[in-house]
Chain A
Amino acid sequence: MVLVKFTYALKRFFPKLADTKVDGKTISAILQEIEARHPGVTKYVLDDQGRLRQHVNIFIDGVMIKDRTKLTDPFLENSEIYIMQALSGG
C-alpha cells in the first residue's frame, strides 16, 4: 500500500483529511479512493478534464510527477505520495 500525504492547505476545506494508506495502482486510482472517503476533494486537485491543476503538484517519493495530463507516473508498492500546492500569490 502507498501512503498518501496532503498539504495542510487542503485541510481547510477537508478537515478530516489525514495521511492515508491506499491500494491504488495508479495515481488516478489513488485519487478515486481518496475521493470516496472525502467527496469533492479531487475537484480541488484536478480540473474539469482530469488534469492536475496548474498550481498543484504531486510528488512520488520526493520526485515531482511528469505526466500532469493523464497521471501515468509509476510508483512502488510502498511509495509515499505527497499532494501539495505551489506557494504563490499575495
Chain B
Amino acid sequence: MKSTLLLGTRKGLIAYRFQNGKWTMESCSFEGVPISIAYADPRNGTWWACQDHGHWGVKLQRSKDRGKSWEEVTAPAYPEGEEVKDGMPATTRYLWAMAHGGKNYTSRLWIGTDPGGLFVSEDEGNSFQLVESLWQHPTRKEGWFGGGRDLPGIHSIVVDPRNEDHIHIGISCAGVFETTDAGKSWAIRNKGMNADFLPDPTVETGFDPHIVVAAPSNPDMLWQQNHCGIFRSTDAGKNWIDVSEADGPARFGFALAVAGDNPDQAWVAPADSDVNRTAIQSALVICRTDDGGKTWKQLRNGLPQESCFDIVYRHALVNDSNAVVFGTTTGNLFFSPDRGEHWQVINNYLPMIYSVQFAE
C-alpha cells in the first residue's frame, strides 16, 4: 500500500501519512480554500491543487516538495470569444479532473473542466490549451447539459497506459467519449447506456456518468457509476452492460474504484436515489463485486449503521493493493486494510471531502 493519502476538501488540501500502523495528518495546505481535486503525479511526485476560490475563480497550484511550498501556475482558461452556448461566454468555473499523460509523454497533463472543456498541457503544466476538437464537437452546444453542476463538466479522464493517445473521458451530462489520437478526434461511447431521466432515452448524448474508471490490470475493462446505475464494458467502451443490483443498494451513487490487480473486482458507495442523495436507510455501506458485477457484497463492518447522512463524492473512493479508502460529504474518512471487509475511522472531523488519492 502506498503510504500517503491526498485529500481535496472544502477547506484545504490535506495529506495523511501511514506510519507505525496508523494514518496521521502530515499537512494541510491552503487552509480554508476549497480544493476540487488534490492530485499527485505518480511520474514525478509533483502535487497539484485544483482550487475553487469562489470569489476569485479557479486557480492551479503545484508543489515539488510534498506541499511544503507551492507555486501558482496559470489555470486553464477559455480563449477569448468562446461560448458555452450562444450568447453565454465561456470561463473556467471548476477544475473537475486531472490526469497525467503517461510515461511516453512526460510533460503532458490533462485537466477536465466545467463548462465542458478539456485542456492539455505539453510543458508540465506551465500552460494549458483547450482541446478544440472536443470543444467544437457537433453535439456539444445542443446535446450536452449540466448534471452534477449547472453546466456540462468533464470529471473523468482515463488514459490507456498501453497507448497513451487512447483516452476515454466522462462528461456530465453527455456521456463517455473516446479518442485514439490524443484528442484530435472523438467517438461517442454510450451504447448500452440508460438515460431514463430524458424524454427520449435513445439519444446519442445526454447521459450522466458520475465517474468512469478503467481496470489497471486490463484497461479495456471500463466501469462507470452512472446516474442510472452501474455499468461495465469489456471492450473499451464500445458496449456497456448494466450490472446494478435489481433490489440491493448497489445502483445509485457517485464513486467507483476498481481493484488494481483484478478487473472484475470493484467497489461502489451507494446512495439513496437521485431524489434524496443520502446514506441508505441512515446507514453507510460500501458494496464490492468480485465477479464483474454479477453479484455485490455489502461491506458494513466498522461503518456507522444509524443516524448517518454521509454520501461519497465521485473522486473520493480509492483502492491500492488490499487497502480501500473513502471520504464523505460530512468529513468522515474511512480506511479498510482488507478490501472492505473491515473499516477503521481515520478522522470524523474533516471538511467535506471532494477527492482522495493514494500517493507515494
Contacts and interface: CB of A to CB of B under 8 A. Distances in A.
B91 interface: yes
B91 A47 contact: yes
Nearest to A69: B89
A56 B90 contact: no
B70 to A, nearest CB: 11
Nearest to B32: A12
B80 interface: yes
B74 A43 contact: yes
Contacts of B78: 48-49
A62 interface: no
Contacts of B59: 43
B57 A47 contact: yes
B265 to A, nearest CB: 39
B360 interface: no
Given A40-B72, A49-B78, A85 B56 contact: yes
Interface in B57-94: 57, 59, 72, 74-75, 77-82, 89-92
Interface residues of B, number: 19
B162 interface: no
A44 B89 contact: no
A48 B55 contact: no
A13 B75 CA distance: 15
A17 to B, nearest CB: 13
A48 B56 contact: no
Interface residues of A, number: 19
B199 interface: no
B139 to A, nearest CB: 23
B54 interface: yes
Interface string A51-79: 10101100000000000000000000000
B62 to A, nearest CB: 14
A55 B55 contact: yes
A15 B74 CA distance: 19
A36 interface: no
A48 B72 contact: no
Interface string A2-14: 0000000110010
B92 A56 contact: no
A86 B91 CA distance: 19
Interface string A27-42: 0000000000000100
B55 A85 contact: yes
Contacts of A85: 55-56
B80 A49 contact: yes
A21 B355 CA distance: 43
Nearest to A87: B55
Nearest to A89: B54
A30 B340 CA distance: 57
Given A40-B72, A43-B74, A49 B91 contact: yes
B74 A9 contact: no
A48 B74 contact: no
Contact of A48 (B53, B54, B91): B91
A43 B74 CA distance: 9
Given A49-B89, A49-B91, A44 B77 contact: no
Contacts of B90: 48-49
A32 to B, nearest CB: 15
Interface string B21-55: 00000000000000000000000000000000111
A80 B59 CA distance: 29
Contact of A53 (B56, B77, B81): B56
27 contacts: A9-B55, A10-B56, A13-B56, A13-B72, A40-B72, A40-B74, A43-B57, A43-B75, A44-B57, A45-B56, A47-B57, A47-B91, A48-B78, A48-B80, A48-B82, A48-B89, A49-B78, A49-B80, A49-B81, A49-B90, A49-B91, A51-B89, A53-B55, A55-B55, A56-B56, A88-B54, A89-B54
Interface of B: 53-57, 59, 72, 74-75, 77-82, 89-92
Interface of A: 9-10, 13, 40, 43-45, 47-51, 53, 55-56, 85-86, 88-89
